[in-house]
Amino acid sequence: MAERILIHPVTRIEGHAKISIWVNDAGEVESAQFHVTEFRGFEKICEGRPLHEMPGLMARVCGICPVSHVLASSKAGDALLGVEVPPAAVKQRRLANYAQVLQSHALSFFHLSAPDMLLGMDSAPEKRNVFGLIEHDADFARRGIRLRQFGQRVIELVGGKRIHPGWSVPGGVQNAVSVSARDEIAGWIPEAFESLRIALDRIKSLFDPFREEIEHIGNFPSLFLGTVNDDGALEYYDGVIRIVDSEGNIVADGLNPLRYHTYLAEASEEWSFMKFPFYKPLGYPGGKYRVGPLARLNVATSAGTPRADRELREFKQRGKGAVCQSFHYHLARLIEMLHAVERIEEIVADPELLSEDVRTKAIPNRREGIGSCEAPRGTLFHHYWVDADGVVRKANLLIATAQNNLAMNQSVEQTARHFVAPRQLREGMLNRVEAAIRCYDPCLSCSTHALGRMPLVIELRDRHSGSLIDRVERP
Amino acid sequence: MPGPARVLVFAIGNTLRGDDGVAHRVADLLGERAGVQIRRVHQLTPELAEEFSNSQVVIFVDADATTDEVRLELLPPTRQPPPITHILRPAELLAIAKNLYDFRGAVYLCHVPAKDFTAGAPLTPTAEAGARAALEAVRAILEADPPD
> pLDDT per residue over B5-18, tens digit each?
689 999 999 998 89
Average pLDDT over residues A96-118: 93
Give the per-residue pLDDT at A325. Answer: 98
**CA atoms within 13 A of residue B105's CA, in its CB half-sphere:** 22
pLDDT category at A197 given cuts 50, 70, 90 is very high
Distance CA A259, CA A254 (A): 11
Provide mean pLDDT across the span A303-321.
97
List, in order of start, the domains of chain B with CATH numbers. 7-144 (3.40.50.1450)
Does an H or E element contain A175, and which?
Answer: none
Q: Could you tell me the residue range of the domain that residue A33 belongs to?
A: 3-447
Q: Is residue A322 part of a domain?
A: yes
**pLDDT in the model for residue A445:** 55
Residue A29's pLDDT is 86
- Residue A97, domain CATH: 1.10.645.10
Q: Is residue A454 part of a domain?
A: no
Whole-angstrom distance, CA of residue A42 vs CA of residue A276 = 17
Residues of A in contact with B42 (CB under 8 A): 63, 161-164
Per DSSP bridges, beta strands B71-74 and B106-113 are antiparallel
A146 with B47: Cβ contact below 8 A: yes
Band of pLDDT at residue A466, cut at 50, 70 and 90: low
- Please provide the DSSP assignment of B95-116 as one string: HHHHHHH---SEEEEEEEE---
Assign A16 a pLDDT band (cuts: 50, 70, 90). low
**A111: contact with B, CB 8 A cutoff:** yes
Length of chain B: 148
CA distance between the termini of chain A: 28
pLDDT at site A457: 37
Q: How sure is the predictor about A462, in pLDDT bands with cuts at 50, 70 and 90?
A: very low
CB A63 within 8 A of CB A316: no
Is residue A137 one of the residues assigned to a domain?
Answer: yes
d(CA A243, CA A151): 29
Least confident stretch, A103-117, A374-388, A451-465, B87-101: A451-465
Q: Give the integer Cα–Cα distance in Å for A226 and A242.
A: 6
Confidence of residue A434 (pLDDT cuts 50, 70, 90): confident
Residues near B139 by beta carbon (within 8 Å), at least 6 away in sequence: B30
According to the model, what pLDDT value does residue A316 have?
97
CA-nearest residue to B43 within chain A is A163
Q: Which pLDDT belongs to residue A10?
A: 65
- The reply to whether residue A14 touches residue B84, judged by beta carbons under 8 angstroms, is yes
> What value does the mean pLDDT take over residues A285-295?
97
Residue A188, helix vs strand vs coil: helix
Residues with Cβ within 8 Å of A122's Cβ and at least 6 positions away in sequence, in order, are A426, A427, A428, A431
Dump pLDDT digits (tens) for A160-170: 877 778 899 99
DSSP B78: -
Quick one: CA torsion of B37, A348, A295, A450, rounded to 10 degrees? Answer: 50
Please indicate whether, in this complex, the C-beta atoms of B47 and A152 are within 8 angstroms of each other: yes
Range 124-143 of B in CB contact (< 8 A) with A? none
- What local confidence, expressed as pLDDT, does residue A39 receive? 60
pLDDT tier, A35 (very low <50, low <70, confident <90, very high otherwise): confident
Question: Do A14 and B86 make contact, defined as CB atoms within 8 angstroms?
Answer: yes
Can you tell me the distance from the alpha carbon of A298 to that of A429, in angstroms, rounded to the nearest whole number?
A: 29
Phi/psi region, residue A100 (left: phi>0; alpha: psi -120 to 50; beta: rest), is: alpha
Pairing mode, strands A3-7 and B71-74: unpaired
* A vs B: CB pairs below 8 A: 60
Q: Which of A84-98, A417-431, B102-116 has the lowest mean pLDDT?
A: A417-431
Residue A38: pLDDT band (50, 70, 90) is low
Chain B, nearest residue to A142 by Cα? B100
**For residues A238 and A94, what is the distance between their CA atoms, to the nearest angstrom?**
9
Q: Does B35 touch chain A (CB under 8 A)?
A: no
- For residue A327, name the pLDDT band (cuts at 50, 70, 90): very high
- HSE-up (13 A, CA, CB side) for residue A99: 32
Distance in Å from the first CA to the final CA of chain B: 20
Buried b (16+ CB within 10 A) or exposed e, A305-327: bebbbebbeebbebbeebbbbbb
In the predicted structure, residue A270 carries a pLDDT above the cut 70: yes
DSSP readout, A315-347? HHTTSBSB--BGGGHHHHHHHHHHHHHHHHHHH
Q: What is the pLDDT of residue A471?
A: 45
Give A40's pLDDT tier (boundaries 50, 70, 90): low
The yes-or-no verdict on residue A131 having pLDDT over 80 is yes
- Chain A interface includes B3 (CB < 8 A): no
Half-sphere exposure of A176 (CA within 13 A, CB side): 10
Asked if A438 and A411 touch (Cβ cutoff 8 Å), the reply is no
Asked if B11 is an interface residue toward chain A (Cβ–Cβ < 8 A), one would say no
In a domain, A86, yes or no: yes
- Is the pLDDT at A149 greater than 60? The verdict is yes
Judge whether A35 is closer than 8 Å to chain B, CB to CB. Answer: no
**A467 domain-assigned:** no
Q: Do B45 and A112 touch (CB under 8 A)?
A: no
Average pLDDT by consecutive 10-residue portion of chain B (148 residues)?
72 93 97 92 88 90 95 81 66 89 93 93 96 96 74
Helix (H, G, I), strand (E, B) or coil at A2: coil
Predicted confidence (pLDDT) at residue A423 exceeds the cutoff of 60: yes
Q: How far is CA B15 from CA A14, B11, B60, in A?
A: 23, 11, 16
Check if A181 contacts B (Cβ < 8 Å). Answer: no
ipTM for the predicted complex: 0.79
CB A268 within 8 A of CB A278: no
Is residue A79 domain-resident?
yes
**Domains held by chain A: number:** 1
Supply the pTM of this predicted model.
0.87
Chain B residue with Cα closest to A64: B86
| Closest by CA position to B13, among listed B137, B142, B91, B112 | B112
At A341 the pLDDT is 98
Q: Chain A partners of B47 at a C-beta cutoff of 8 Å?
A: 145-146, 148-149, 152
How far is A40 from A220, CA to CA, in rounded Å?
A: 31
User: In chain B, which residues have their Cβ closer than 8 Å to the Cβ of A134?
Assistant: 96, 99-100
Residues B86, A63: C-beta atoms closer than 8 Å: yes
Q: What is the pLDDT of residue A446?
A: 54
Distance CA(B91)–CA(B75), nearest Å, equals: 7
Q: What is the predicted pLDDT for the residue at B121?
A: 93
What is the percentage of chain A residues whose pLDDT exceeds 70? 90
Tell me how far apart the alpha carbons of residues A158 and A392 are, in angstroms, rounded to a whole number.
27
Q: Which residues contact A19 (CB under 8 A, 6 or more apart)?
A: A6, A7, A8, A10, A32, A33, A34, A35, A412, A433, A434, A437
Q: How far is CA A67 from CA A178, A239, A369, B39, B68, in A?
A: 19, 18, 19, 21, 37
pLDDT at A475 over 80: no
Report if residue A452 sits inside a domain. no
pLDDT of residue B71: 96
Instruction: Give how far the C-alpha of residue B97 lies from the chain's centroid of Cα atoms, to the nearest Å.
Output: 15
